[in-house]
Amino acid sequence: MNIEEILKIKPYSLNKTEKEKLFSSFLARLSEHHYTHCEPYRKIMKSIGFDLKKKHAYTDLPFLPVQLFKTNELRSTAAENIVKTLSSSGTSEQKKTQVFLDKENAARQTKVLAKIVSSFIGNKRIPMMIIDAENIIHNRARISARAAGVSGFSMLGSKQVYVLNEEMELNIELLQTFIKQQQGERIFLFGFTFMVYQYFYQALLKSGTKPDLSNAVLIHGGGWKKLEKEAVSATDFRNKLKEVCGIQQVYDYYGMAEQTGSIYMQCESGHYHASVFSDIIIRRALDFSVAAIGEEGIIQTLSLLPTSYPGHSLLTDDTGILLGEDNCPCKRLGKYFKITGRLKHAEPRGCSDSYA
């Protein structure tokens, strides 16, 4: 199967056997592609003596730690083909992650994102309210992960309104007008979790305005780390939003700059789901072996999309638990899982750290 055919598959329609077959063969081909076109990747594969000519189960495929994209420029195409570079929001002292996208890769991400999201909110494009500021997506060649998320999702609406200004202030008037204009039609809200909480929920709460968004659907992602201090649980988050604007349908997703597009949506049962375009494997820290269902470990993410950079098999810093496969009450096929946190950076003892 080639990627065009794969892109026609419904996002949650393959069972374990079908998916394993697809992933083992397709990821092997992707690995060969990167082996040929990315010298650092080739060096890595050689150093571990991984023989791509042999048949491997996709669970045996090597995985690159996401940190590697901070310390190296990893590209599987000539520099002149790169149209977009995603970059993480690292602090100034830290090196930033860099993900290089060519035209095809970027287009494929958008397409897959649309497929996954529309399977949740319907195929029809609906008016969209973006809980962010429009100016963040202006610089198109080199963009932050947040901007990439916003710009990717923004394609999914029939029309868009950005309800925050550059100072991250909510424009309530604009919001009210937009709602009125849609005359009860369903509205699609998108924003990063902490932005939604801090600049949308808090602002509404403070203003005392209660816009009617009972017919809207919110998709949010980017993780809960920034909300740790506030100690907001997923349930609190939903309840609080419901209080201020009546919104009923709220979906969280798990995703990363290194594999934009093939996101993991949270279903009605509160489980994150791997679509047919990506997969997860939970690994044990002790020896990187595959953890059992129900056992916490490090999340490896696999995606069929990356061609312009070798990001098809990654080891994240996140920890999670595989809850099951093909048997979620929501009826979607594929693996479903839970995120338990992010690994703290190791704090080794030693003499090299007096400033911290």
Q: Which stretches of the chain bind other proteins, using CB under 8 A?
A: 40, 43-44, 46-49, 64-65, 67-68, 71-72, 285-288, 298, 315, 317, 319, 343-356
Q: What angle do CA 152, 158, 162 make, to 5 degrees?
A: 65
Report the DSSP beta bridge partners of residue 321.
296, 338
| Closest separation in Å from C-beta 282 to other proteins | 12
Cβ closest to other proteins, residue 44 vs residue 216:
44
Cβ closest to other proteins, residue 38 vs residue 241:
38
Read off the amino acid at residue 77.
T
| Closest separation in Å from C-beta 220 to other proteins | 27
**CA distance to 103, 131, 251, per residue, from 242 (Å):** 39, 16, 13
Element of type H or E holding 30:
helix 16-37
* Separation of CA 347 from chain center: 27
Cβ closest to other proteins, residue 91 vs residue 352:
352
| Closest separation in Å from C-beta 318 to other proteins | 11
Q: With contact defined as beta carbons under 8 Å apart, do 242 and 303 qualify?
A: no
Cβ closest to other proteins, residue 22 vs residue 44:
44
Read off the amino acid at residue 40.
P
Half-sphere exposure for 146 (CA within 13 Å, toward CB) = 17
> Please, which residues have CB within 8 angstroms of residue 166's CB and are 6 or more apart in sequence?
133, 135
| Closest separation in Å from C-beta 49 to other proteins | 7
Distance CA 303, CA 277 (A): 6
Read off the amino acid at residue 331.
K
Cβ closest to other proteins, residue 181 vs residue 340:
340
> Please, which residues have CB within 8 angstroms of residue 177's CB and are 6 or more apart in sequence?
none
| Closest separation in Å from C-beta 64 to other proteins | 6
Half-sphere exposure for 217 (CA within 13 Å, toward CB) = 18
Distance CA 341, CA 321 (A): 10
Question: What is residue 197's DSSP assignment?
Answer: I
| Closest separation in Å from C-beta 316 to other proteins | 9
Cβ closest to other proteins, residue 27 vs residue 291:
291
| Helical pair 145-154 and 103-121, crossing angle rounded to 10 deg | 60
> Please, which residues have CB within 8 angstroms of residue 31's CB and are 6 or more apart in sequence?
45, 52, 61, 312, 313
| Closest separation in Å from C-beta 52 to other proteins | 16
| Closest separation in Å from C-beta 7 to other proteins | 30
Cβ closest to other proteins, residue 270 vs residue 341:
341
Are β-strands 98-102 and 82-87 bridged in parallel, bridged antiparallel, or unpaired?
A: antiparallel
Cβ closest to other proteins, residue 20 vs residue 317:
317
| Closest separation in Å from C-beta 280 to other proteins | 16
Cβ closest to other proteins, residue 211 vs residue 297:
297
